[in-house]
Structure 1
Amino acid sequence: MKQTVAILGGGHGAHAMAADLVSRGFSVNMFEMPQFRDGVRDLFATRRIHATGVIQGTFALDKVTDDIDEAIDGVRYILVVTPAFAHAEYARLLRGSVSTDQVVLLYPGAFGGLLFRTVFGDGECPIVAEVNNLPYDTRLTGPAQVAIYGFNKVNIAFMPADRGADLIGEVRAIHPFDKVYTDVLEAGLSVVNPGVHSGPCLLSVTAIENAAKRPFFLYEHGVTPASCRLNVQVDNERKAIGRRLGYALTPIEDFSGLPEGYSWQELYMNLHGNIALTPISGPHDLNSRYFTEDGPYGLVPWSIIGKAVGVETPVIDSIINIYNVIHERDWWAHGRSSADLGLDGLSVDQIMTYVRTGNRTASEADQFGAVATG
């Protein structure tokens, strides 16, 4: 009997994942928010996705719906395949509908496991797992059509971490996760995209603004020696945060196959001209998720956690501050916060217990929340 999974989201990654899972024998229920239904009307009408690239064919879905209860009814695994800025809305949507014997997987996570736990509350909660990256390099090429250029190695963490050992065997039927992180805090610090996109995006702002006049391809035009030097510094700062918390972070190495301690030259040679990345067009404007996801939902929480544990992040902070200016928005206020993640009032030891067990006890004596949000 085929296993049925629910895929929530209607973008590039969701289409690629649906095609991939159907190609491997899964039945797929796909959900899109009612307000975005018109954008995927062909998918609703045909229930079929045409894929090209490393996965080829036309794949029939079991259901395509904008009714969340219909989408998740009877399924064990709920895969949320959306940008991080949609996580809060999906968490609120699932609250009260998802059962404790279901498992929610977030692609990519960006501390979403903690956010979902905060939204669901401290009562009986489903297990939430988060993945550090999309498993595919992919883009929509037309209505219900997706090009899948390549596969990415991906790692996973569970909230609470203590439940991971019971689940990892069956979860690997969905994706062959390379590594199980210690917990969702390590997973959030290991999200790949902010460490890959930040340098090329920041240093290509004017080219991206002019993309309507001249085509822009990030990995072809934006990956330069200077942008790779910037990426190395971003990665070094988040690794320093990881060391303070006891993690040996290697997200860029896991993604690229580079050795630990890689140089900017090695990073440049790995990204520029990469056959799976070079064909990816864009970003085409400054509101791309390469800015509005990677900054507030990647760089901001990294900085917050860094300050809480006494690690300075001057390059990360500078990028966020420049994004504040070019977007005319305070991403410090609108990104992932300590309160979003349920960390206010917890000591570092209490945080580590919380992500391991799902239990937390606030301490008035501790200043984690005050430092992180101040």
Structure 2
Amino acid sequence: MAIITIIGAGNGAHALAADCKLGGAEVRMYEFTRFNNKVKGIVNSRRIRFEGIEKNHENFKRNGTIVLDMVTYDMKEAVQGANHILVSVQAQGFESIFEELAPLLEDGQTVSIFPDNYGSLILRRIMKEKGLKTDVIIAGYCSLVYGARLTDFNNMETETDVVNVMYRENEIRVDTLPSSDYATYLEATKEIPALDATELIQGDTVLDIGLSNVNVLLHVPAVVLNTGTIENWGIIPNVGSKDAIYDIYAHGVSPAVGRVQYAFYLEQVAIAKAFGVGIMPVEEDVLQSRMGLIGQMMFGEDFRLPFTEPLDQSTWLPAPKGARFPLDSRYITEDVPVGCSGAMSFAELLQVETPIIRAMTDLSNLMLETNYYETGYNLKDFGLENMTPADVIGYMRTGK
């Protein structure tokens, strides 16, 4: 039986933990803060209910209530002796979490980051700075395996957290850092139950994986171009409802927004092409349909929902009644300083023009009164400062 450690306790982390336990692994969950955390209700019971329609091509389904083997605030306790470490946290936490994690890693372990968000580069950089030569395999994924939401947590009466899974991805793009570790990693993934029904597609370096992250492509234009509606939703007459949460897929996508998303994607393609690496293929007409890439993930390659038809929210990710979609959500506060800034840092190395990505960043800075050019990720954060483009790709492919 494999021992799997989950780093994090949000939507994705809960889904990964419950899924792996339902699949027969020994599972530990580590929450990195005792304050404002999402495991207060299950520290003693360790109980999670995994539910939802879990849409996927193979009609694969895992529902049920599990008891984790460990829920802890002690990272050393969580990591020691584990076979596989699955990281599912917001990317802004990578630095502090990997600073603590790196010295605790043991030879033979794998570290999988969902989604990677260039985290594999950051973890390798920290290991190098600390002089650590631990023989571990580090893999980055372009997204999470599921569409998942915590619908109940920190409930001190039931002591049971509930995670709802709307869909399970049929295939997912992944690569290791370096890519030369991939064959060994692929064999090791047979011990990770969360991947039982998802085909792994090897990307062409972790740059490919970072540029293929669907979150930044879908989220940023759909939020930036709908800020008025988001801020007025349920507040002024005839704009939304207090009883229904604003949802970018149901309310924020349109033919014009889809055109901006596709222009954004073409700039990502230009960066990948300049470096000579791959990127996840996206067809223009997919972004001219209401569910976009999410629809393909749920219903197959040929699925298109016309913009003339509404999204059936009865099968969509649930949200608590009265909840609001905040402008300063991770759809901006994570996707812009990570996805946009990360892409632009690579683009600048080869002087690739990115006017759409830059416009989205400029507008986000104005809207949130911040400066993601200063706080966002760059080549120095990735340990690639002063490297030539050829050196960057050589390092990603071979580790040298």
Cα distance, 1:212–1:52 mapped onto 2, change above 3 Å? farther
Q: Secondary structure at the match of 2:378?
A: coil
**Paired position in structure 1 for 2:265:** 235
Structure 2 residue ranges without an equivalent (≥5): 55-61, 154-160, 236-240, 293-303
User: What are the Cα deviations for residues 182-205 of structure 1, in whole angstroms up to 9, with x where unaligned?
Assistant: 211111111111111122111221
- How big is the shift at 1:16? 0.9
Matched, 1:92 2:133: no
Q: Note if contact 2:148-2:317 (Cα within 8 Å) is conserved in structure 1.
A: no
Amino acid at match of 2:392: I
- How big is the shift at 1:276? 9.4
- How big is the shift at 1:300? 0.9
1:4-83 alignment to 2 at 5 Å?
4-36=3-35, 38-53=37-52, 54=54, 55-83=62-90
Q: Note if contact 1:217-1:283 (Cα within 8 Å) is conserved in structure 2.
A: no
Cα distance, 1:263–1:42 mapped onto 2, change above 3 Å? closer
Q: Note if contact 2:272-2:278 (Cα within 8 Å) is conserved in structure 1.
A: yes
Identity of aligned residues (%): 29
**Paired position in structure 2 for 1:293:** 334
- How big is the shift at 1:76? 1.4
Amino acid at match of 1:15: H
Q: Note if contact 1:6-1:79 (Cα within 8 Å) is conserved in structure 2.
A: yes
How many residues end up aligned between the 2 structures? 351
Matched, 1:194 2:216: yes
Q: Secondary structure at the match of 2:365?
A: helix
Q: Note if contact 1:157-1:184 (Cα within 8 Å) is conserved in structure 2.
A: yes
Matched, 1:140 2:150: yes
Q: Secondary structure at the match of 2:39?
A: helix
Distance 1:286 1:52 in 2: 28
Worse overlay, 168-177 or 72-81: 168-177
**Paired position in structure 2 for 1:180:** 202
1:165 to 183, 201, 215: 183
Distance 2:51 2:347 in 1: 42
Q: Note if contact 2:205-2:277 (Cα within 8 Å) is conserved in structure 1.
A: no
**Paired position in structure 2 for 1:362:** none
Amino acid at match of 1:250: M
Q: Which has the higher helix share?
A: 1
Distance 1:38 1:109 in 2: 22
- How big is the shift at 1:96? 1.2
Distance 2:115 2:315 in 1: 18
1:240-319 alignment to 2 at 5 Å?
240-250=270-280, 253=282, 260-262=283-285, 264-266=287-289, 269-270=304-305, 273=311, 278-281=316-319, 284-319=325-360
Matched, 1:350 2:379: no
Q: Note if contact 2:150-2:163 (Cα within 8 Å) is conserved in structure 1.
A: yes
Amino acid at match of 2:311: G
User: What are the Cα deviations for residues 9-67 of structure 1, in whole angstroms up to 9, with x where unaligned?
Assistant: 01000111111111111111000013346532112121010122134211110100000
Cα distance, 1:287–1:266 mapped onto 2, change above 3 Å? closer
Distance 1:206 1:277 in 2: 27
Worse overlay, 231-240 or 30-39: 30-39
- How big is the shift at 1:7? 0.2
Distance 2:3 2:347 in 1: 40
**Paired position in structure 1 for 2:247:** 217
Amino acid at match of 1:265: Q
Q: Note if contact 1:218-1:280 (Cα within 8 Å) is conserved in structure 2.
A: no
Cα distance, 1:133–1:328 mapped onto 2, change above 3 Å? same
**CA root-mean-square deviation:** 2.1
1:102 to 105, 109, 118: 109
Q: Note if contact 1:110-1:188 (Cα within 8 Å) is conserved in structure 2.
A: yes
**Paired position in structure 1 for 2:168:** 151
Cα distance, 1:321–1:280 mapped onto 2, change above 3 Å? farther
Cα distance, 1:331–1:10 mapped onto 2, change above 3 Å? same
1:354-373 alignment to 2 at 5 Å?
354-359=395-400
- How big is the shift at 1:277? 7.6
Distance 1:121 1:211 in 2: 48
- How big is the shift at 1:8? 0.6
| TM-score, normalising length: structure 2 | 0.82
Distance 1:274 1:305 in 2: 39
Q: Note if contact 1:218-1:283 (Cα within 8 Å) is conserved in structure 2.
A: no
Distance 2:213 2:315 in 1: 17
Amino acid at match of 1:28: V
User: What are the Cα deviations for residues 210-263 of structure 1, in whole angstroms up to 9, with x where unaligned?
Assistant: 456433122111122221111111111101111112233225x4xxxxxx4546
Distance 1:241 1:351 in 2: 13
- How big is the shift at 1:264? 4.0
Amino acid at match of 1:306: A
Structure 1 residue ranges without an equivalent (≥5): 254-259, 360-374
